[in-house]
Amino acid sequence: MSALICRRILPVLFASVLLASSSWGLDQVSLNTPSLFQGAAIASVLDGAGNRYTTGTFTGTVDFNPYVGEDSRSTPADSTCTYVTRYNADGTYAWTQTFGGTVSTASASITVCGSTVYVCGNTSIANPVFGCSGSFTFIGSSDAFVFAIDSASGTPISTFGTNGWVRFGGNNIDQASDVVSDGSTVFVCGGFWSSNAGIGGSGGFASAGSDDAFILAVDAISGVPVPSFASNGVYHLGTGWNDKLKGLLLNGSVLYCAGQYNSDAAILALDSSSGNLVPQFGNAGMQIFGGTSVGDVGSRLALSGITLFMAGTFTGTNAGFGGSGSVGTIGNQDAMVLAVDADTGLPKSSFGNGGVVHIGGTAHDAAVDVRCNGTKVCLLLTTSSTNLGLSSAGSISTVGSSDLVITVLDSQSGIPVPVWRRRVRSIRRFSL
């Protein structure tokens, strides 16, 4: 019996800009990337055979077949719906599935595991449906969701949750950010504000006063909460001040999480079966990076051997591991990538400045994703600076109001590999 292949998300432009000759691996590069993605693409993933699945949002009527032929889908008037499109390994168009209704529904992340595609996001509709024909009922501001569809046909997996999808939320703003699966369990992370959040509808999880972090663990076939994981399938982290999780990475029995804890950027390590923090990682299962400012947050994770990398953002003049240090931003907000030992959570001192490399200018810069192929770390940045540089102001300038920048660093030293810096011009508010 062959091993189950599970692939995680890759922001669409990250996938299409990287060079195929770089040996970044199947989940980083595809030669069959369509020249035009339909709708507002958010993320993309490849399965083991090289088929590509792209998710995003759309409004109005869109023909999702970018080639000869037509496959048009429509949203209700003034509504935004989620879509998933498959492109076959040979580059041909396969199918599109939509999800939502009369008010906004937006995807955030996608993964494929075996024959099932899982998508998470948030919806403001009490009863969104596949085909984007759900009707509005007030449920708060938004709920997190994850749905499951067949990878070959795009048909909803009717045994998963309620008609193919699972909800988490309550009476306020609740949103999902990332989804991963090991074939038996689906994990979803995000942040919630509700005082009565639960799986499938209102429940007993209450925010501590601001944005609280959550991880859902549901059965990959039925969507039923895994009772052995944390509190009946829900891990809840809340200090009362800026807690959220934005990225997940599964490595054997450990579930790594990137996000924010008490306004600091944080990496959590949890046992994927029990939902307990791994005590030998960092400080009782958590490594934080930040200072006295409140704008520090992790976004995505990558693993290479025993080194764990986290992309993120920080502000202030005294950021460091453990919650304080001497790393300061160049401008208002800098992009960063951290390197820590995957077992202990301790910083890799040889990488950059004691385990951190930061890139910025005099405006706002953020690292939104990271990949590693063993010898190189690839970082995706958004920047509005006119003088972007490494550790100090430099000479890279935006062309428009906000640009995407891809840069590659040596995975041991954090030193840039100059030939790898690329920019995509004039991307405004591109959601990644």
Is 86 or 31 the better-scoring residue by pLDDT? 86
Report the share of the chain in percent with pLDDT over 70.
Answer: 87
pLDDT at 201: 80
- pLDDT of 404 over the 80 cut: yes
In which band, very low, low, confident or very high, does the pLDDT at 29 lie, cut at 50, 70 and 90?
very low
First and final C-alpha spacing in the chain? 36
Please state the rounded mean pLDDT for residues 115-137: 86
What is the token pair recorded at 140? Answer: 């708060």
- pLDDT of 187 over the 70 cut: yes
- pLDDT of 12 over the 60 cut: no
In which band, very low, low, confident or very high, does the pLDDT at 7 lie, cut at 50, 70 and 90?
low
In which band, very low, low, confident or very high, does the pLDDT at 120 lie, cut at 50, 70 and 90?
very high
Residue type (1 letter), 196? N
Please state the rounded mean pLDDT for residues 348-374: 93
pLDDT at 36: 58
Q: Give the sign of the dihedral formed by CA 270, CA 276, CA 282, CA 287.
A: positive
For the segment 409-426, what is each residue's pLDDT rounded down to a tens digit? 999 999 988 754 455 443
pLDDT at 255: 98
pLDDT at 422: 52
pLDDT at 19: 35
pTM of the model: 0.91
- pLDDT of 178 over the 80 cut: yes
pLDDT at 285: 97
- pLDDT of 343 over the 90 cut: yes
Residue type (1 letter), 429? R
For the segment 201-211, what is each residue's pLDDT rounded down to a tens digit? 889 999 997 88
In which band, very low, low, confident or very high, does the pLDDT at 161 lie, cut at 50, 70 and 90?
very high
pLDDT at 214: 97
For the segment 323-335, what is each residue's pLDDT rounded down to a tens digit? 889 999 988 899 9
pLDDT at 366: 93
Please state the rounded mean pLDDT for residues 275-291: 96
- pLDDT of 390 over the 90 cut: no
- pLDDT of 242 over the 70 cut: yes
Report the share of the chain in percent with pLDDT over 90.
Answer: 63
pLDDT at 430: 32
Please state the rounded mean pLDDT for residues 46-61: 93
Please state the rounded mean pLDDT for residues 385-407: 83
* Residue from 196, 170, 173, 186 nearest 223 by CA: 186
pLDDT at 401: 77
pLDDT at 431: 30
Average pLDDT, the chain: 87
Mean pLDDT is lowest, of 52-66, 169-183, 346-360, 410-424, for 410-424
Please state the rounded mean pLDDT for residues 181-209: 93
* Residue from 212, 230, 303, 300 nearest 271 by CA: 230
